A and B are shown apart, each in its own frame.
Chain A
Amino acid sequence: MSRRIVGPFNRVEGDLEVTLDIESGRVRAAFVNSPMYRGFEQILAGKHPLDALVFVPRICGICSVAQSAASAQALAQSMGIQPPQNGRLAANLTLAAENLADHLSHFYLFFMPDFARDGYRDRAWFTDVQARFKAVTGSATADVLPVRAKFMNVMGYLAGRWPHTLSLQPGGSSRPLEEAEKLRLKILLAEFRAFLENTLFGDSLEAVAALDSEAALYAWMEPRAQRADFPRFLNIARDIGLQHMGRATDRFISYGAYSDGTAPLFAAGVWAEEILHKLDIGAIREDVTRSWMAGDAALAPHEGRTQPDPDKADAYSWCKAPRLSGKVVETGALARQMVAGHPLVRDMVNLHGASVTARIVGRMLEFALVLPAMETWLRQILPGDTYCLPSHELEDARGIGLIEAARGALGHWLDVRNGRIHNYQIIAPTTWNFSPRDAVGEPGALEQALVGLEAEEGGDAAPLQVQHVVRSFDPCMVCTVH
């Protein structure tokens, strides 16, 4: 057996290193290290509660709105206020725009370039895929960057700018839309829809959303494999067997996404042992046994502590290890759609378990499901109606903000005492997915997903299968540790 340290991993957000124990050309064990610590939870202690809205988006440049939304929700709960309908719709639109832009960046810029690597030179699809997806120089980069930048102009109207907005407030949105701006947004959404339908899918969003089984998916792919990008991926995926790579625990968590005030567009819950369970937030604990963090008990987030201990024996990551009822769970677009009950991902996971392919399909489905919802929310906004309620000063209060970022379940636990932040604990999606081992030695979701993959003992670049599985989670390392 040999040990290989693979890093730095690029085309993930932030810093990542993976240690692989390799035996007979396969990964026998993996240890995931989040190698950077900044200490936002320590920075937030003692601040005015509303100052959290300035700091938390700056945890992460790629999920900044998600961080804002979770904080605004935690503050609203502590203040006992509910945003008015316009505020809620504006917040949904802002978060959805970020989530879809993230899915787009992930697919085109972070994930697909690995199939244009020389290691795939002998595949029938290589020439086409290399011209399309080669990092930096492929035609897809040139196509997608301007489309993404244009789509992000919705943030100019909804959020002032992106990243790092302050428009998402506990009482709603600080950015009222005028009737004329609704029209401009409508046009931006239509342009983005056209790109998705023409270039990504080669079909209407509604047709993609209606795919209901793996068999239907591949049948749909066949005539499109040369002329649209998601079908191109499916063709590669089937050829190299990505549906058999990257299975973790097949337990999925989602906090539920895009509420209209009564029900979310995608339901909250836990999918485990092949059935849907109710989400019990009280069952979350953060274990720090193998983290460079002081303490040994696994604590509930409201009681959580963040005190670095860089010399801790046997620790190997700055990331804590969140567990639900003591168990490792996976979060992300696949988890969200599993919990929400989309028949396509339910079928794929039923057939093979979670995989690289299923995680990508989960994201692609969200383009097809969320953009039409955005079109509806925009229609429902009524200029002239209230966008935002005033905030209250807080003395002693607690609040929880639970939202779905592009990468999955994001939770903020706020404790205010004497008008100041006493404790602010954050569990980000990749904290769940890329956690280290816990007190009973159970590896985190990625650590489990890497076991069994092909890996040369020598070699130069990170093993290809390892790269696909790591990036299939769309990790955000700056959120992970924060």
Chain B
Amino acid sequence: MSDVATPLNLLWLQSGGCGGCTLSLLNADCRNLVDTLRSFGINLLWHPSLSEQSADEARRIFEMCASGETRLDILCLEGAVLKGPFGSGGFHRTTGNESMMHLLERLAGVARHTVAVGSCAAFGGVTAAGINPADACGMQYDIDEQGGLLGEDYRAGDGLPVINIAGCPTHPNWVMETLVAIAQGEMYESNLDVYRRPRLYADHLVHHGCKRNEFYEFKASAHKPSDLGCLMEHMGCKGTQVHADCNIRLWNGEGSCTRGGYACIACTEPGFEEPGHAFGITPKVAGIPIGLPTDMPKAWFVALAALSKSATPRRVKENAVADHQVVVPANKRTRLK
């Protein structure tokens, strides 16, 4: 339980990533995130995009945290840990020639809460794709295996493992709400799912609230980008399997990936970066997608898909392969029952 009377010091560092989770965070739905964090007792000790301190001034902040002179309440890492080349961490050195990998180890050792922001920091993410040139890993995971930089047994000062706010990028409010929960002393292990993602967003599927649901129901599918139909059958969409609430809370006002006309590529899931097929093409066996909806028995899916395809209304069928509604919903001439 945190002491809300004393502000919690938050230190945010970046390593093997793109900075996109920070840029996403700047879109947070609040008057401004610094004031909002402060109102929950979080003091932004240093952030690479926002703080004044540069060079030696910034390094002194890191050292005071590592030595315990400044209490490090929340350590956030954005970006993967780069272990290469040959375990030296040399693909990312901080000034003073220390590897960022080593600095992170020192800071995680004193942090009361350790938070991996984004799929790179959590699991390795896109930085670990392909031949994984920089030998990237997550803070406490190598893709979907426990380990990573800190090892399976790591626990932060508060007793929790690394909290994985997975996503590529993270939704700004996933980060805000996780930090607020920590500040309020309301973040327990039971609030985290099997990959230690906060359940505040991970207990949903991307499919929930998808605008294309009527097309999904009838298996009326898009064939090319900009078609209005369901993206699951041909376009690589994994929204029925992926844990996140992107179509419930939406992004940048009224957006989401599926609303943007493209597949959910599972960016909150460990290993999404290497799906084993082209991202935009659904892998199938005998015409049936191999990635079936979560909790759906295969026989039922096949039977229902065949039935619903045969029952597809003309409106749904024609709109699915058009980039605008070519048939609008009919108006009934009687009062709706």
Contacts and interface: CB of A to CB of B under 8 A. Distances in A.
Interface of A: 5-11, 13-15, 17, 35-39, 42-48, 50-51, 53-55, 58-62, 64, 105, 109-110, 113-114, 116-117, 134-137, 141-142, 145-146, 148-149, 152-157, 159-167, 169, 171-176, 178, 184, 308, 310, 318, 383-384, 386-391, 460-462, 467, 478
Interface in B48-71: 48-59
B131 interface: yes
Nearest to B86: A310
A78 B130 CA distance: 23
A187 B279 CA distance: 35
A46 B132 CA distance: 13
Given A149-B27, A159-B255, A166 B53 contact: no
A152 B18 contact: no
A53 B49 CA distance: 26
Nearest to A149: B27
B335 interface: no
A442 to B, nearest CB: 25
Interface residues of B, number: 84
A156 B252 contact: yes
B31 A142 contact: yes
B260 A165 contact: yes
A58 B126 contact: yes
Interface of B: 14-24, 26-29, 31-35, 44, 46-59, 82, 85, 90-96, 100, 126-127, 129-134, 136, 168-169, 223-226, 228, 246, 250-263, 265, 267, 278-281, 323-324
Nearest to A159: B260
A293 B14 CA distance: 23
A109 B263 CA distance: 33
Contacts of A142: 31-32, 34-35
A462 B54 contact: yes
Cβ-closest 3 pairs across A and B:
A160-B260, A61-B20, A39-B133
A43 B324 contact: no
A53 B278 CA distance: 11
Contact of A8 (B22, B23, B55, B168): B55
B22 A50 contact: no
Given A14-B14, A36-B92, A176-B323, A43 B130 contact: yes
Contacts of A47: 130
A135 B51 contact: yes
B134 A38 contact: yes
Contacts of A308: 85, 91, 133
A475 to B, nearest CB: 12
